[in-house]
Structure 1
Amino acid sequence: MNQVVKHLICTLSLSLLFPIATFAQQASKKHADAPSKQVSILFAGDMVLADLPGKTIEQGHDPYAAFKDIFASADLRIGNLECVIATTGKAAEKNFTFRAHPRVIPVLKQHFDAVSLANNHSGDFGPEAFSEMLSLLKTQELAYFGGGNNVSEAHRPHIIEKNGLKIALLGYDEFMPRSFEANTNKAGVAWSEDEQVVRDIINARKIYHADIVIPFMHWGWENEMTANKRQRQLARIMIDAGADAVIGGHPHVIQDTETYKGKPIIYSIGNFMMDALDNEAQTLGWVVRLHVNQHGALAWDTRLIKIDPQGTPTPVADANSPCWDKKTGQTKLCSNAQLK
């Protein structure tokens, strides 16, 4: 009798386990067969909307007009706001200080889904002006990241949900002056301390449940055409922590690109809109269109831009500029005319 009971118990247990295994297999197959949730994100480099670009807007013109179609080719558009937008504050003691009038915000909002504040000019007129900018951006509903009223806000990712994907954007500055950094009771930028950056990337997934995490960096030395040791080291730290791609700016020139663990690093996309330019290389930049799905970066392509003496960019229609796709793992030159 005991053998019969044991046999029945074994049979019953197996019959219960098989459906569970079957359901797990079906769920795994369903996930594998799920359609790709693709999103394209366009990144534009340093934008100073003071001085001549600001005057263009004041006169009722749109300095972004030449990029209308290129911007429309992406699902999301992100730029680095390389100035403070405010009417208050006192200029810091540094070579260049940039403060734009609040009238520029509607133009920015027309073209961008979010802007990074993590740079060495958004604090040019002090914490009071920085706080005013945050208030103005919130009032006009233009999203921002890489800065906040305190250190916690500054390091909080901006989450965008698009096409079924949850994308986390983080912004960091690591170019002086560090006095622009946010602290517990002062508005300012997010500074890129390695341990904090790693925590931020991990938390973007763990707490905010992001599918994709992208740091937008302000780093490197001005006018250097290749990334330095520190940039390369930090890029790898971020990808090891879980970043899906790293996009950089600040050197005011285009720098090199590479792939690490199958994930793209674009060290500097150069300038996008400013009139205070020192040399020919500073008049050239890229807009980068990054293609991602739920598994990470699929590809990226670039459009070469040229900035005129008024600080206004235009696409260089007949140029070839770098592009990459994960399938081949190769970076090559693509024609601007092909990237619609």
Structure 2
Amino acid sequence: MNRLGLGFVACLIAAPVAAESSAVVAFVGDVMLARTEATGRLIARGGDPFRRVRSILAPADLRVANFESAGGRSGKADPAKPFSFRTTAAGVVAFSSVFEVAGLANNHAVDFGRQALVETLASLRQSGSLGVGAGRDLVEAHRALIVERQGVRIGLLGYLDFFPRWFAAAPGLPGVAWLDPRQVAVDIADARARGAEVVIVIPHWGEEHQPQANEHQRSRARAIIDAGADAVIGGHPHVVQDYEIYRGKPILYSLGNFVFDGFSDEDNITGWAVFATVDRAGVSAIRTRVVRLDGHGAPAPDASKSGPCWTRGEAQMTRCAE
């Protein structure tokens, strides 16, 4: 939000100038609150895994996280998957108390079947969050979520580019949006036609535990920018990955874990909260706060580390100075 000093206000009164509207959108990586995990058990005891990061996320105009789980009550665990996760209603409420948008294009959203995904969408909505990257059918899954903040219409699109392939939505069947570059181009064009002034794509992709994006990610990310997106902000590998500026637009390949237990390696317990300043021309700045997860998977700000920062016009992202 722009803050104007009294002197600047006086100037505006003397010579009116239309101020450029801008908003700040916070993005974080994987949030795991499943009932079988330490973070889910903490919620069941009345604890708050977000307690130490609420203050850094609160100033943002919109908050977006990957909801790494199913949230419905029906269905059975997929026997073909090594891990299937389900978050209780209390966990959904805890998530929605922080994040208005839940990324559902991931490899756990349909762990308990398609009907459970429909219930997840409903449970999130009832708690105050909207899902992106999944839907009750193919059209809904690929339809951008458009949210207006500070006068800027922000379009969000989420995609899965990992297994299981059968999680993908189909005509008449609930599921997640699958990352097909040709379809992404159609979805971006549709978002623009519906009034989105900024379009940010959130892919779930890459190789786990790899600090560098692979060539598949790079080619897909650049194709997404070529198709008209203003930024690509990804996740899934459970570590933060590298980043770049392509055609003047930011690409962050993975934000790492944000709330997730079961890891002890330093790269797995380090995550980023990325704050993107957006206006009607796209993304104007990127700022990052680093978090470190404790033994229960709950994050806290880590002032000893820095993440990427960037301002429109700069040729590359660099480490934040603070």
Fold shared by both chains (TM-score > 0.5) = yes
Q: 2:53 aligns with which of 54, 67, 89?
A: 67
- Structure 2 counterpart of 1:323: 309
Give the corresponding residue for 1:224.
Answer: 210
Verify the 8 A CA contact 2:73 2:116 in the aligned structure 1: yes
Alpha-carbon displacement from aligned partner over 1:4-42 (angstroms, at most 9, x marks no partner): xxxxxxxxxxxxxxxxxxxxxxxxxxxxx5321111110
Higher-Rg structure is 1
Deviation at 1:138, TM superposition (A): 2.6
Task: Report the counterpart of residue 173 of structure 1 in structure 2.
Answer: 160
Instruction: Indicate which of 25, 31, 34 corresponds to 1:47.
Output: 31
Q: Percent identity at matched positions?
A: 43
Which residues of 2 match residues 130-279 of structure 1 at below 5 A? Answer: 130-206=117-193, 208-277=194-263, 279=265
Alignment of 1:38 with 2:25, yes or no, is: no
Shift of 1:260: 0.6
RMSD between aligned residues? 1.3
Offset of residue 276 of structure 1: 2.8
Offset at residue 140 of structure 1 (A) = 2.8
Shift of 1:268: 0.5
User: Which deviations, in whole Å up to 9, do the C-alpha atoms of 1:118-162 show, x marking residues without a partner?
Assistant: 000111111121121122123333211100111111011111011
For each residue in 1:228-275, what CA deviation from the matched residue of structure 2 results, as whole angstroms up to 9, or x when unmatched?
111111111111111001100011111100001100000011111111
Measured at CA, do residues 140 and 73 of structure 1 come closer, stay the same or move farther in structure 2, by a change above 3 Å? Answer: closer
Deviation at 1:105, TM superposition (A): 1.9
Q: Which moved more, 1:254-263 or 1:128-137?
A: 128-137
Per-residue deviation, 1:87: 2.0
Divergent runs of 4+, >6 A: none
CA spacing shift, 1:62–1:278, aligned 2, 3 Å: closer
Q: Which moved more, 1:153-162 or 1:140-149?
A: 140-149
Secondary structure of the residue aligned to 2:131 is strand
Cα shift at 1:278: 6.3
Question: If each structure's helix is expressed as a fraction of its own residues, which one has the higher value?
Answer: 1
Q: Give unmatched runs, 5+ long, in structure 1.
A: 1-32
Separation in 2 of the partners of 1:157 and 1:219?
A: 19
Measured in 2, the distance between the counterparts of 1:106 and 1:262 equals 38
What's the TM-score once normalised by structure 1's chain length?
0.86
Query: Which letter does structure 2 place at the counterpart of 1:73?
Result: P
